[in-house]
Structure 1
Amino acid sequence: MSRVTVQLNGRDFTIGCEEGQEAYLRELAGSLDKRVSEISGQVGQIGDLRLLLMASLILVDDLKESDRKIAELEGQAQRLRHENHGAASLQAEARNELTAHLTRLAERMESFADTLEAAGDDSDGDGGVPAPDTSLAEAGA
C-alpha cells in the first residue's frame, strides 16, 4: 500500500492508496480542493468540516444528476432499439408482400404467355387470331 499527501483547503493530508493509484488520487483531491475553494470564495472560511460537507453535498448532487441523465439516455436507447426492431419487422413484412405480389404477377404473365402461344398454335391462317410476335416471345415478354 502506498501513501500520498494531498492538499485540501490549504492543509496537507496523507492517505493510503493502492500501488499505482497515487496520481489518480491526487487528481481527485485536486478536484475536491477546487470545489472547496469555490465554496470558500462564496461563503468564506466556515471551517474545514462544513466546507467539506458542502462540497460533498454538491458532488453527491452532481452524481445523482449524472445518474438521472444516464437512466434517461438508457431509456431513450431502449426506445430506439424497440423502434428499430419494429421498423425492421415492418420492412421484412413489406419485403415479403412485395415478393408475393411479384410472384403472382410473374405467374399471371406466364399464364398470359401460355395463352398467347396456344392461340398462335390454334391459328389456321384465316385471320381470326393473329400469331404472336416472335420477337416478343423470344425476349421473354
Structure 2
Amino acid sequence: MSLKFLIVEDNYHKRERVISFLKEKYSECLVVEAHSFTAGCQRVLEDQFSAIIMDMSLPTYDKSPTESGGRFRTFGGRELSRKIIKRNSGAKILFITQYESFSDRGRSLSFEALDEELSRECGMAYLGLVYYDSSKSLWKEQVVKFLGGINENTCG
C-alpha cells in the first residue's frame, strides 16, 4: 500500500506547493485535499491516511466565489487534530503554518510554545510544526525530516 496523505489547507498556492513537493518526494503517494475545517473532518471520518498535513488556521467551511468560508478558526488545525486522535485512526499529524505566532480570544502563543502544546496534546501521532515561507526551501527539509518515520505500512 502506498503512502496516503490528507492535506487540509485553504490557501491555494501553499496547498499546490506542498502537494507538488510531496508528489516529487514520494512519487507513489496518493494525496487527498480538504480546504476547510469541516471538509477535513469529513475526510478523516471517510478514510484512513498515513499522515495528515494541515494548516493551523482554517475557515470553518470551504470558500467559494459566493461563500466566505464561515468563521475563521485560528486554531482550526488543532481542533481537527483532537478529532483525529479521538478517532484513533493511527494517522500521523504534521502542521504547516505561515504564522510565527498565534492569537485568539486574548490568548497569544509563540511558534515554539504552540509546538510544545501540540506535542503534548497529540502524543505519538505528532510529527511536528513546520514554518512555511514560500520564499525559502527550509520548509521542504523540515517536511522530509518529520515524515521520515512514515512508511508504506503506516496508512490506517
TM-score of the pair, normalised by structure 1? 0.26
**Higher relative contact order structure (alpha carbons within 8 Å, sequence separation ≥ 6):** 2
Q: Name the structure with the higher strand share.
A: 2
Larger Rg: 1
